[in-house]
Structure 1
Amino acid sequence: MSRLHDMGGRFGDGPVVPEPEDVIFHADWHPRAMALTVATGAVGAFNLDMSRHARESLSPKDYMRFSYYEKWLGGLANVLTQVGVVTREELAGTVDPTPSPLAERKLNADRVAGVLAKGGPVDRPSDVAPVFAAGDLVVARRFADNADVSGGHTRLPSYAAGARGRILRLHGTHVFPDSNAHGGGEAPEPLYAVVFAAAELWAHPEHPHDEVVVDMWQSYLTAAT
């Protein structure tokens, strides 16, 4: 299954044009979209990986025409209806909304600063032992797909699938998004920084001696032979 959102390293999309660092939002409703997403996430009905998968699951037509925060709102509507927090009819305004028992857990304004300062760390203890060390040669899984859920969420980018790289460092054990996005639990496993030569990733790189560092979970990798 092709993944429309998996655009990293893809040709034909034009140059990346950096914006001034002081430009965060381009419209008045953008910060409201972000605030709504963060506030509803606090009720605990979905997790970060489920939210990402919901955005990725937008129809190709919508994904390509939506702006960044339109994708956020579209994904939020998807995940809220999928987990039963709201109904499509409530979102469309065709029925009166029903008060949710989760409403008391929403993120109110007086809690925002503390919650954002705390962050959302995803490192976890795990019984899964690292099998690679710095300097080991590895090969990324040949296909950038979820090994357990057809069409499911994965953080393995297509441009690195099947590529040969070198372990730079171990980040520790972290929540495995391929599982967490689909109700399979956090299933933490070792996460590595893997170095790939640009010439390994693309047939005609502009700078063939450049290197790309990609964070990859252990189950994405096998030892190079």
Structure 2
Amino acid sequence: MSRIHDMGGRLGTGVVDPTDGYDFAEAKDWHKRALALNVACGFLGQWNIDASRHARELLRPEDYMRYSYYEKWMGGLADLMVARGVLTEAELASGQADGISPVAERAAKPGAVTEALMNGSPYTREAAAPQFAVGAKVQTRRPARNVKVPGGHTRLPDYASGAKGEVILQHGAHVFPDSNAHFQGEAAEPLYAVRFSAQDLWGAEADPRDEVVLDLWESYLEPAE
């Protein structure tokens, strides 16, 4: 069963407006503070980007649907901080720290932030040679689920589960989010760009000229029959 966040191809959620004109430079002040707080807390080293994504996925469905973008970020961050012992529910509720945090010494220093953001966090790794060559016909796993952790994080979208496509690019090996999100190790795997016909994903109403390209990890794929 897919979670509420896996909304690709789902009917009934309204039309996507690509011209909404949102400009972060003109965003509400709390949006900027929410982003800054998430970045600052990342310096504490208590979770990774995959765990933070999964934390947002775990929000209650009713909250996920009513929260704005940065409310989702803040909800996931609050849950992560409690789950990882950075603060307690009582501290969160009161807005007051109960003593000094055990990770206080890892707080971001102003001078280190720009360099860290510029360098980013590369997720390329060494791993076994890729199983699929460019041009290989593949089929995605069905159902789209984490095979290690029941109900766990995965980057295989539900709408592409069980679909047949073609490998068009090898990206090298990258950290495997299905494992990394649950602190079970990086378990790097080859990552591929896979091309699908829009009609194979969406049905006959899709334009036959359209294609969808997804970046998918090797264990999401098998040779197409």
Q: Which band: TM-score by shorter chain? A: over 0.9
Alignment of 1:97-112 (within 5 A): 97-112=98-113
What number of residue pairs does the alignment pair up? Answer: 224
Match of 2:113, SS?
helix
Return closer, same or farther for 1:94/1:39 CA change in 2, 3 Å cut-off.
closer
Return closer, same or farther for 1:24/1:132 CA change in 2, 3 Å cut-off.
farther
Amino acid at match of 2:181: A
Q: CA RMSD in A?
A: 1.5
- TM-score, structure 1 normalization: 0.95
User: Is the contact made by 2:86 and 2:102 (CA closer than 8 Å) also made in structure 1?
Assistant: no
- Cα displacement (A) at 1:96: 4.4
> What corresponds to 1:6 in structure 2?
6
Return closer, same or farther for 1:24/1:202 CA change in 2, 3 Å cut-off.
farther
Q: Distance between the aligned counterparts of 1:68 and 1:94, measured in 2?
A: 22
Alignment of 1:155-166 (within 5 A): 155-166=155-166
> Unaligned regions of 5+ residues in structure 2, if any?
none
State the Cα deviation string for residues 85-122 of structure 1 (Å, max 9, x = none): 11111100187423112112122322221111001111
> What corresponds to 2:82 in structure 1?
81
Amino acid at match of 2:50: D
User: Is the contact made by 2:139 and 2:165 (CA closer than 8 Å) also made in structure 1?
Assistant: yes
State the Cα deviation string for residues 133-185 of structure 1 (Å, max 9, x = none): 11000000011110111110000001100000000110000000000011110
User: Is the contact made by 1:192 and 1:217 (CA closer than 8 Å) also made in structure 2?
Assistant: yes
> What corresponds to 1:172 in structure 2?
172
- Cα displacement (A) at 1:2: 2.7
- Cα displacement (A) at 1:23: 3.9
Return closer, same or farther for 1:96/1:44 CA change in 2, 3 Å cut-off.
closer
User: Is the contact made by 1:142 and 1:162 (CA closer than 8 Å) also made in structure 2?
Assistant: yes
Amino acid at match of 2:67: F
Q: Identical aligned pairs, as a percentage?
A: 55
Amino acid at match of 2:217: W
